[in-house]
């Protein structure tokens, strides 16, 4: 019964956010124009580039597949980034904190439409890449597990970052910012990590996104099964579990600290 109520709340959020979203028709048109240009630009860019690296070790046959699968995985995995701090630090929090709905349902509800829309867009982009750019995609349980564990890991980091931001009332988000920048630079999103200078290679090796992208490319691009990537996935799941614990503890500490200092839901 409780779950039913929570689902109804999530549905209510989706319904109202969808209405707001589609009321801005010109914005929507501009978004699709931007998306089209982006697809054409990245597709042509990836076809023109020749890179001196062993691309096949990542499970993808060429650089185009390497880049496109990397950006699809990155876009999906990074969906929860910034969602917790923007929820708790946002204006709407004080009023929703006292509603009978659970904070989990509200949190999912607030982010649901954005996530659904972005997943939809990623599917459209992927379909275009498959149909017009010859991208090869494999879908199996391995892909789903890799994406989900990546999402959980980013969620854990976001929890940690939100705890810090709530406690300090910081408008900047240095942790997420650092993680995102380094992910683009060293994790192999745009080019293989082996092309990095030697002094950046260790950072690439400790960056979780490197492993998320590696496993994403192996399963989605190379068609590797869950069993084949299990040893690496197991390590990542352990790191995710530990980070979730750390993130949650930091969040609870930050939340209570803000309530002590009177900075939560500042009015």
Instruction: Please report, as ranges, the residues that interact with another protein according to CB under 8 A.
Output: 5, 8-9, 12, 15-17, 19-20, 23-24, 90-101, 106, 167-168, 256-257, 259-262, 264-265, 267
Q: Identify which of 265, 211, 232, 228 has the alpha carbon closest to the alpha carbon of residue 94.
A: 265
The nearer residue to another protein, 12 or 195, going by C-beta atoms, is: 12
Closest approach of another protein to the CB of residue 250, in Å: 13
The nearer residue to another protein, 86 or 232, going by C-beta atoms, is: 86
The nearer residue to another protein, 40 or 261, going by C-beta atoms, is: 261
Compute how many other C-beta atoms are within 10 angstroms of the C-beta atom of residue 263: 14
Closest approach of another protein to the CB of residue 79, in Å: 22
The nearer residue to another protein, 7 or 123, going by C-beta atoms, is: 7
Whole-number Cα distances in Å, 123 to 44, 80, 127, 189? 20, 17, 6, 19
Closest approach of another protein to the CB of residue 81, in Å: 21
In angstroms, the CA 224 to CA 237 distance is 18
For 9, residues 6+ apart whose C-beta sits below 8 A from its C-beta are 101, 105, 106, 109
Closest approach of another protein to the CB of residue 21, in Å: 9
The nearer residue to another protein, 248 or 253, going by C-beta atoms, is: 253
With contact defined as beta carbons under 8 Å apart, do 102 and 6 qualify? yes
In angstroms, the CA 165 to CA 90 distance is 12
The nearer residue to another protein, 47 or 257, going by C-beta atoms, is: 257
With contact defined as beta carbons under 8 Å apart, do 240 and 152 qualify? yes
Closest approach of another protein to the CB of residue 108, in Å: 13
With contact defined as beta carbons under 8 Å apart, do 212 and 77 qualify? yes
Closest approach of another protein to the CB of residue 20, in Å: 5
For residue 97, give the 3-state DSSP assignment.
Answer: coil
In angstroms, the CA 185 to CA 152 distance is 21
């Amino acid at each position: 019964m409780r779950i039913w109520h929570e689902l109804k709340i999530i549905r209510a959020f989706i319904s109202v956010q969808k209405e707001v979203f589609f009321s801005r028709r010109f914005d929507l048109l501009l978004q699709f124009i931007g998306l089209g240009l982006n697809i054409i630009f990245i597709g042509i860019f990836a076809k023109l580039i020749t890179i001196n690296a062993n691309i096949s070790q990542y499970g993808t046959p060429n650089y185009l597949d390497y880049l496109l699968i990397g950006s699809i995985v990155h876009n999906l995995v990074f969906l929860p980034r910034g969602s917790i701090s923007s929820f708790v630090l946002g204006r709407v929090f004080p009023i929703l904190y006292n509603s009978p709905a659970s904070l989990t349902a509200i949190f999912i509800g607030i982010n649901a439409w954005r996530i659904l829309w972005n997943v939809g867009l990623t599917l459209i982009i992927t379909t275009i890449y498959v149909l017009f750019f010859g991208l090869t995609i494999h879908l199996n349980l391995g892909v789903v597990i890799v994406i989900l564990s990546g999402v959980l890991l980013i969620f854990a980091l976001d929890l940690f970052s939100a705890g810090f931001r709530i406690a300090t009332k910081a408008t900047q988000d240095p942790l997420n910012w650092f993680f995102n920048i380094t992910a683009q630079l060293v994790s192999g999103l745009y080019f293989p990590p082996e092309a990095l200078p030697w002094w950046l290679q260790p950072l690439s090796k400790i960056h979780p996104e490197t492993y998320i992208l590696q496993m994403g490319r192996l399963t989605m691009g190379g068609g590797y099964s869950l069993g084949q990537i299990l040893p690496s996935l197991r390590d990542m799941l352990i790191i995710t579990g530990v980070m979730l614990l750390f993130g949650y503890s930091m969040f609870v500490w930050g939340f209570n600290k803000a309530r002590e200092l009177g900075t939560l839901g500042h009015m």
